[in-house]
Amino acid sequence: GLNFIDLMVRQGNIDNPPKTPLVPGFECSGIVEALGDSVKGFEIGDRVMAFVNYNAWAEVVCTPVEFVYKIPDDMSFSEAAAFPMNFVTAYMMLFEVANLREGMSVLVHSAGGGVGQAVAQLCSTVPNVTVFGTASSFKHEAIKDSVTHLFDRNADYVQEVKRISTDGVDIVLDCLCGENTGKGLSLLKPLGTYILYGSSNMVTGETKSFFSFAKSWWQVEKVNPIKLYEENKVIAGFSLLNLLFKQNRGGLIKGVMDKLLNLYNSKKIKPVVDSLWALEEVKEAMQRIHDRGNIGKLILDVEKAPTPLMANDSTETSEAGEEEEDHEGDNENKERMPFIQ
């Protein structure tokens, strides 16, 4: 699976980035080839998906058994590689942190991405939940049925949400950070929960300088604890990777995976795969996520041959900055992409 956190790792925009050389990637699916001496519950030949603390983008992956889960019979390997990070993150935020219940409202950014689509599907399993989503306008037709109210990500979504729900929303899921932090907090109802689970605005074009990066952080409103107390608001952070690999909560995650696989087997949720890429195409795949061109999850497939470049195609990735991002999803960029039909 290819996730936005992989771009942050590549650009060094995380706490204690790993030293190079390294193999990126935090989730994968495949077939069990070997077992540790004390491993029980799995056999060689089992179809599995797993969390990995780096090194997932490889032909052979090794990870502790507590991070490995069997794949349902009717789930494909590409769906399985798209499942763990997105759906566990969405489930934990909605049900473990924010306590989503009937009749609540949720605002989710990047509604067309892997986590955004997982959030929308999980919200549909609870009666009368209203989902507000922001996404690039060219994605709206494809995802309009998954959310209740959809806004262009460059529009003034705060006013749009308040026009529909004057009190605001119960839950805000923010993967953007920057100026959206203050906006999200302003939209919270009393007893509402704001969850920061990423900072994709920190990932900028290669032409951006450190000062652009720092400026984005300065846009994050300083949270005043007294104001939270007076307004009865909750602010939280969520990092699945830290929960798994630093805070030893693998058992908790296994319980969540069991619930999610039950929902999958009952056909209430299904991972959305945007496209498959060969390992040699990782540069272009990363650019697609960077430019927010994907609807659902991008998958690296070790058995896929690279797609031949078109005559007018370039092997150079775009150095897309803020100015170029407004033109995401144009036809020239999308022609090159090997979509799953």
pLDDT band at 56 (very low <50, low <70, confident <90, very high): very high
CB atoms within 10 A of CB 122: 23
Q: Using an 8 Å Cβ cutoff, are 147 and 141 in contact? A: no
Question: Cα(135)–Cα(187) distance, rounded to whole angstroms?
Answer: 18
* Residue 308 pLDDT grade (very low, low, confident, very high; cuts 50, 70, 90): confident
pLDDT category of residue 176 using cuts at 50, 70 and 90: confident
Encode burial over 236-265: b for 16+ CB neighbours within 10 A, e otherwise. eebbbbebbbeeebeeebeebbeebbebbe
Q: What's the CA gap between 171 and 195, in Å, rounded? A: 8
pLDDT at residue 170 in the model: 98
Q: Summarize pLDDT for 2-18 with one digit per residue, the tens.
A: 998 898 888 887 777 78
CA distances from 109 to 220, 252, 263 (A): 16, 26, 23
Q: State the Cα–Cα distance between residues 128 and 295, nearest whole angstrom.
A: 25
pLDDT over 90 percentage in the chain: 65
What pLDDT score does 182 carry? 85
Q: What is the mean pLDDT of the chain?
A: 85
Domains and CATH numbers, the chain: 4-209+219-300 (3.40.50.720)
Tokens of 25: 């990637």
pLDDT tens profile 116-155: 999 999 999 999 999 999 998 889 999 999 999 999 988 8
210-227 pLDDT, tens digit each? 555 555 555 555 678 888
* Cβ burial, residue 212 (10 Å; 0-12/13-18/19+): middle
pLDDT at 17: 78
Q: Can you give the three-state secondary structure of the chain, one letter per residue?
A: CECHHHHHHHHCCCCCCCCCCCCCCCEEEEECCCCCCCCCCCCCCCEEEEECCCCCCCCCCCCCHHHEEECCCCCCHHHHHCCHHHHHHHHHHHHHHCCCCCCCEEEECCCCEHHHHHHHHHHCCCCCCEEEEEECHHHHHHHCCCCCEEEECCCCHHHHHHHHCCCCEEEEEECCCCCHHHHHHHHEEEEEEEEECCCHHHCCCCCCCHHHHHHHHHCCCCCCHHHHHHHCCEEEECCHHHHHHCCCCHHHHHHHHHHHHHHHHCCCCCCCEEEEECHHHHHHHHHHHHCCCCCEEEEECCCCCCCCCCCCCCCCCCCCCHHHHCCCCCHHHHHCCCECC
pLDDT reading at 111 higher than 80: yes
What mean pLDDT do residues 278-306 have?
Answer: 92
